[in-house]
Amino acid sequence: MNGIPRHMGLPSTISVSNECSRIFDGYFNHAVETFGRTGYDVGYTVHEALRLGFERYMAEGPGRTLTGYTNLLQELQHLSRLRSAFLQRM
């Protein structure tokens, strides 16, 4: 699944673009590392992961726009909704 761990709760049939996977790899990795833990600031960690993703996206190519990053955020939001729906069916 393009670098996103299968145990994140997404069915293997979900298509994730390579760019989304590359830009947000830290987001997915952090979610795996902290799943089930207590005592961490979710708001901060998510914000930080998204900030780092934005920096990575902008640094990868001149002329990149906020619109392109917004499209990736929409893909990430879609994946999150799919994961939530999948977990609710369990």
**Residues 16-68 pLDDT 10s:** 677 777 777 777 666 667 665 656 666 677 778 888 889 999 999 889 999 99
Which tens digit of pLDDT belongs to each residue from 70-86? 999 999 889 888 888 88
Query: Within 10 A of 72 (CB to CB), how many other CB atoms are there?
Result: 19
Task: Say if 78 falls within a structural domain.
Answer: yes
Residue 56 lies in a domain: yes
Tell me: the pLDDT tens digits for 23-36? 777 776 666 676 65
In a domain, residue 52? The reply is yes
0.75 exceeded by pTM: no
Amino acid present at 61: G
Task: Determine the Cα–Cα distance for residues 60 and 69; give it in Å rounded to an integer.
Answer: 12
Helix (H, G, I), strand (E, B) or coil at 46: helix
Q: Count structural domains, the chain.
A: 1
Range of the domain at 68: 18-88
Q: Judge contact between 10 and 86, C-beta under 8 A.
A: yes
d(CA 5, CA 81): 16
Number of Cβ within a 10 Å radius of residue 28: 21
Asked if the structure places residue 64 within a domain, the reply is yes
pLDDT value at residue 39 = 62
Does 84 reside within a domain? yes
